[in-house]
Structure 1
Amino acid sequence: MASSFFKSKRTFNWYSALVAAACMVLYGYDASVYNSVQGSEAWLEWFNNPDANMTGLINTAYTVGAIFGGFFLGGPIADFLGRKIGMATGCILVIIATFMQAFSPKGNIGCFLGGRVIIGIGQGIALTSGPIYIGEISPPSIRGKIMTFWQLFYSVGSFICFWVAYGCTEHATKLGEWDWKMVVLFQLLVPILILVLLPTIPGSPRWYIQNGNHIEKARNALLKIRDTEEQVEEELLKIREALEYEKEAISSGYSALWKDKSLRKRLLLALVINAGQQVTGQGTLNTYSTKVYEKVFSSESQISLINALNATFGIIFTVNAIWFIDRFGRKFLLVAGAIGQGLCMIIISAVETETPSPDGKKTEAVGISLVFLFYVFILFYKPSWGATVWIWTSEVFSMNVRGQAVGMASQTQNVANLIVQQFFPTFLENCGFYAFYMFAGVNFLLGLFVYFFVPETKQVSLEEIDAIFGGANHVSQGEDLLFQQKNAGQVSVERSDKPVSTTYENVEVSS
């Protein structure tokens, strides 16, 4: 078994979480693929030089697929088939779509568009299951640190893509049409790796109990990633009690998202901050940075290098969240990040719009200053609105609705991105860098929203997090329900005053 290769169970816990986090590499790579290939002369020629409207439509095609996959497929697959099946399904669809894009017949932009839709569906499914799995296997004390790698791996995906694109750009003459096809095909690497590694990691113990009350399977999964049997039994009991309360007092189905006031509040907050993540300016930069830099730099190779360095610094800056997330908390990072991002956008706009442009291009000094400022923006964004939004979203929902709620909330990112990406190319063309003042205002508004409305969730167990949002403590309420069932003859043994870890061995529902 894979767990036997690791020196400690905590290490195997990290390994299992990182396999799931690799799903975010798919997103990071694909979000950068189109940014890279649209700067390729060979790609433009292959598809008969698509205009600005078609450029926006190709991005929209991906986003529509991701929204459909996340809203309608991600939650049901994760909840009814399992978190690991959800990740595997997403990877398989990404592989199929990659071949469709790379081998689209010359001039057949429809095939390329179809691949973008399918890859969006695949990622919508994988990006629902991945963060849920990580949250459900991670102990509260390090859940924030582990989830930080979810965003870190987004940067890893961008890093791989942009450096592959830079290498292909340097040899574009020799490669011909393969200068963009190679960039697309490299996307096969990570989904294949994930499919190979998924069988080596345990299933979600919470999913095992939620679907069929498979307590032994849940126990075996936890025994691989928790240090002591006492921890395993205590966690099993908390899961069991929380699920019992959710089933009896709220609803075991997705309708709880509308029936329960506390869940409605969480869903609304999650929808806002996930949409906000994409209107900070980062989503647009990641997709259209090539178009932005073309207003300052004339060299295709130079722009590819800047994008590659941007992705490299993205990895370094995201690591900061590992040290900050469980020390300062989610709320502090979101507020501080929004303020820093807003200030960067104001300065970026001012530097570009208030400096001369001899021969229609900015001077080298201005260009270097803008690149530096964009990197500072990434410094603020990655550990805050990059990593923290995913962490907060994956941990605030109760088990009965977690799959559907995370799928809906995370795909709100794509809804917001769909709107911004559709109008941004025209906005940039007509208004230039004045467009970035809009992002500055949005960032400041987001900071205020988080300060006044978003509660702190650091180091709270998943089963007890409802109380923070005005709901009941599902563990304590579920404990009372189990006790009542015992008195009614529905539970096979008496409740005792022994520690939780030893009590659970005998608390089983009679058949």
Structure 2
Amino acid sequence: MASKPSNRSLYLAAIVACLTAALFGYSVGFVGGVLVLPSFLHHFHLDALLPHDLAAAQARVVTVWLVGALFGVPLGVPISSGWGRRRCLTFSALLYVSGAALQLVDRGGHLSVFNIGRLLNGLGVGAGTLVSPMYISEISPPSDRGMLMSGYQTALQLSALVGFWGAYASHATFPSSSPLQWQLPVAIQLLPGVFLLLGTFLIPETPRFYAERGQFDDAEGSLAWLRALPRGDLELERELDEIREAAEAGELLQSEKPSFFSEARKRGVRKRLGVGIGLMIAQNMVGLNALNYLHSQTTDAPVIFMSAGFTSVSSSLFLTGLFGVVKLISAIAFMFVFVRIRGNRFWLKLGSGVCGISMLVLAYYVRLMPPPDQTHEAMLTFGGVVSVAMVYIFALFFGLSLGPISWNVCSEIFPLHINAKCCAITTCTQWLFQIVIASITPRLLASVGWATYLVYALCCALSLLWTHLAVPETCGVPLGRPMDALFDAPTDSAATIETADGGGDQDGDDVEDETTALLRSRARAERRRSSVVAYT
């Protein structure tokens, strides 16, 4: 008789993996506030710089972290592929903790040492953004995968909110003469990093990684721990059979030792890479960073709220903090409620559409607002209230769509034997476009002003159209053969089977696509049975 699986171990492993998102979110949330603290400026001798030089120094602190995150992704690929997902999580935590500690080292107030620490921080975050979604995806049953993957976005938004208010509270609590004013927010980075480091010693490697290496006994032990089931349990064996067959399919595909480039040329893999890269581009291009930029482009208050008529520093900071709260609420709502109501395509299209409308309305009313140098004269108006509402509506629907779903889809769609390298490509795309958007948004705002929001509205429309045409529904689809079938055209599978019988076209795309299709034709009865019982 099959035992009833428990989720307690699964949730523990997912929580530990989601701590990489806490590294990401806190690093983003606290740095803007710390960079303008009087104690920080004095300690690093930035208060003596001219405004232009000060802005350049602050920009370097932010940029070096983004560059580190970008290069941390490929740095994590060989570790994730060769040593395992869990060890890559450990590697990410070690880099992050080392970077945080280095930022606290006093070397006569030299910002270069602080920036080296930020670089190590970024490398750890980049490696974490690669491996954490992969780990969660590989340990999750199909019925819980969307919810557990959405925990990544929830942890990111929660930690970003803690970072923002932590820097604000530090400024309000400590005098400007105290180094604790900037050191405490920096030191808090150590907490999620140390928790992640210790947590990786409590959780197992993923069963799919073990199976890929032929270590099926270890895979069974890992799966038994995650499902809280005894070895030999019927439900456990059924899921293990699916994992074994997916691993054998990958082994057959690798039997001729093809290069990754030749694998990436296959029709099914090309389609998956197109979906993953497109989602990561869309996540950055719809305009969230434009709103984030408006909240931080001055050192005294968020410009968009002050221009809307909320001219006091306290009110504008409160509204900025509320912006973070809305993003957190949307992430939690998607994780526990909306992910179970409709599929990914529905939320991607709805989110893109609502975000586009929000940008159009925002463009209209921002056009009527006073310029930034006249915000002290701004009066609270209907248009100002509507603008603020559009910011929150955008944040809400972004958090229900592109925010979490881009990470979710990219973590689950690629074949196991090339999963790490494909995820590296999509994750690098995400970081690269963060850098691009951070660079072009200030220039757009300076050159075309309110029309910047029309540009992002167009990007939202393109995201909606592209989702409708190119993104299949992956919600609830088991990993392995069912996911392969989702991305492979029927003609590809037919050609593969025909070739196995001795006929058919032998050129490139027809035979290379899915050896899994051949396995599917051999074991159709088992596939139907296992697809039904795999916790769906």
What TM-score results when the alignment is normalised by the length of structure 1? 0.86
Correspondent of 1:241 among 242, 245, 270: 245
Correspondent of 1:371 among 368, 373, 388: 388
Match of 1:161 in 2: 163
Give the Cα–Cα distance (whole angstroms) in 2 for the partners of residues 428 and 40 of structure 1: 26
Residue 465 of structure 2 is aligned to residue 448 of structure 1: yes
Give the Cα–Cα distance (whole angstroms) in 2 for the partners of residues 252 and 13 of structure 1: 34
Give the Cα–Cα distance (whole angstroms) in 2 for the partners of residues 479 and 354 of structure 1: 61
Give the Cα–Cα distance (whole angstroms) in 1 for the partners of residues 264 and 526 of structure 2: 37
One-letter identity of the residue aligned with 1:294: V
Match of 2:30 in 1: 33
Match of 2:347 in 1: 333
Conserved 8 A contact 2:9-2:228: no
Match of 1:274 in 2: 280
> For 1:339-350, what aligned pairs fall within 5 Å after superposition?
339-350=353-364
Match of 2:303 in 1: 294
Q: Secondary structure at the match of 2:416?
A: coil
Give the Cα–Cα distance (whole angstroms) in 2 for the partners of residues 56 and 422 of structure 1: 10
> For 1:107-256, what aligned pairs fall within 5 Å after superposition?
108-171=110-173, 173=175, 176-211=178-213, 213-226=214-227, 229-249=233-253, 254-255=260-261
Give the Cα–Cα distance (whole angstroms) in 1 for the partners of residues 133 and 226 of structure 2: 17
Give the Cα–Cα distance (whole angstroms) in 2 for the partners of residues 496 and 294 of structure 1: 60
Give the Cα–Cα distance (whole angstroms) in 1 for the partners of residues 304 and 474 of structure 2: 42
Match of 1:64 in 2: 67
Relative distance call for 1:47 and 1:469 in structure 2 (3 A) is farther
Q: Secondary structure at the match of 2:121?
A: helix
Relative distance call for 1:108 and 1:426 in structure 2 (3 A) is farther
Conserved 8 A contact 2:212-2:251: no
More deviation, 356-365/54-63: 356-365
Relative distance call for 1:443 and 1:104 in structure 2 (3 A) is farther
Match of 1:465 in 2: 483
Match of 1:4 in 2: none
Note the residue ranges of structure 1 that are not aligned, 5 or more in a row. 1-6, 484-494, 502-511
Conserved 8 A contact 1:208-1:218: yes
Relative distance call for 1:479 and 1:185 in structure 2 (3 A) is same
Give the Cα–Cα distance (whole angstroms) in 1 for the partners of residues 219 and 437 of structure 2: 43
One-letter identity of the residue aligned with 2:14: A
Cα deviation digits, residues 350-389 of structure 1 (max 9, x gap): 2222135698013244655443322211111112111111
Relative distance call for 1:294 and 1:108 in structure 2 (3 A) is farther
Cα deviation digits, residues 455-495 of structure 1 (max 9, x gap): 11111111120111116576663366799xxxxxxxxxxx9
Relative distance call for 1:382 and 1:156 in structure 2 (3 A) is same
Deviation of the 1:441 alpha carbon: 1.5
Match of 1:319 in 2: 332
Give the Cα–Cα distance (whole angstroms) in 2 for the partners of residues 59 and 74 of structure 1: 21
Q: Secondary structure at the match of 1:401?
A: helix
Conserved 8 A contact 1:254-1:400: no
Relative distance call for 1:415 and 1:357 in structure 2 (3 A) is closer
Match of 1:307 in 2: 320
Q: For CA contacts below 8 A with separation 6 or more, give which structure has more relative contact order.
A: 1
RMSD: 3.0
Relative distance call for 1:39 and 1:12 in structure 2 (3 A) is same
Relative distance call for 1:357 and 1:275 in structure 2 (3 A) is closer
Q: Percent identity?
A: 25
Residue 480 of structure 2 is aligned to residue 478 of structure 1: no
Give the Cα–Cα distance (whole angstroms) in 2 for the partners of residues 425 and 172 of structure 1: 32
Give the Cα–Cα distance (whole angstroms) in 2 for the partners of residues 125 and 230 of structure 1: 36
Deviation of the 1:177 alpha carbon: 4.1
Q: Secondary structure at the match of 2:296?
A: helix
Relative distance call for 1:351 and 1:181 in structure 2 (3 A) is farther
Match of 1:9 in 2: 6
Deviation of the 1:428 alpha carbon: 3.0
Deviation of the 1:159 alpha carbon: 1.5
One-letter identity of the residue aligned with 1:340: V
Correspondent of 2:271 among 250, 262, 265: 265
Correspondent of 1:394 among 383, 405, 411: 411
Q: Secondary structure at the match of 1:32?
A: helix
Give the Cα–Cα distance (whole angstroms) in 2 for the partners of residues 174 and 182 of structure 1: 13
One-letter identity of the residue aligned with 2:150: T
Q: Secondary structure at the match of 2:473?
A: coil
Conserved 8 A contact 2:358-2:390: yes
Deviation of the 1:16 alpha carbon: 1.4
Correspondent of 2:426 among 392, 405, 409: 409
Cα deviation digits, residues 280-332 of structure 1 (max 9, x gap): 22234446622271364365554443333222222211122132224311111
What TM-score results when the alignment is normalised by the length of structure 2? 0.82
More deviation, 388-397/95-104: 95-104
